[in-house]
């Protein structure tokens, strides 16, 4: 089963995403983060197969966070 990390500052939206993604039966949510820095820390620790992120996050945009994750294994 593929693992997924969700990064979004809206808890209700994250909850809905979790239901849809897990409902597919081929993904498992391994973590959720509310902002970019927390998302990066969790991605380094959990090493998910896929990260679903909002483009507009507190403290760091989703695009910048994605760039940093690609640079830092």
Q: Stretch 27-47: mean pLDDT, rounded?
A: 91
Q: Stretch 18-29: mean pLDDT, rounded?
A: 95
Taking each helix axis as running N to C, give the angle between helix 36-46 and helix 62-71, from 0 to 180 degrees, rounded to the nearest 10.
Answer: 30
* Number of domains within the chain: 1
Q: What is the CATH number of the domain that holds 17?
A: 3.40.50.2300
DSSP state of 3: E
Whether pTM > 0.85 for this model: the answer is no
Rounded to 5 degrees, what angle do the CA atoms 56, 39, 2 make?
A: 110
- DSSP 3-state of 49: coil
pLDDT given at position 63: 53
Task: State pLDDT tens for residues 49-58.
Answer: 988 888 777 6
Range of the domain at 18: 2-71
State yes or no: pLDDT of 59 exceeds 70: no
Average pLDDT taken over every residue of the chain: 83
The bridge status of strand 27-33 relative to strand 50-53 is unpaired
To the nearest whole percent, how much of the chain has pLDDT over 70? Answer: 78
């Amino acid at each position: 089963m593929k693992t997924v990390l969700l990064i979004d500052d809206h808890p209700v939206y994250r909850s809905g995403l979790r239901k849809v993604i897990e409902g597919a039966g081929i993904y498992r949510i391994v973590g959720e983060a509310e902002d970019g820095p927390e998302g990066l820390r969790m991605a380094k620790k959990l090493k998910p197969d896929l990260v679903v992120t909002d483009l507009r996050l507190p403290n760091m945009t989703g695009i910048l966070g994605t760039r940093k994750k690609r640079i830092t294994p």
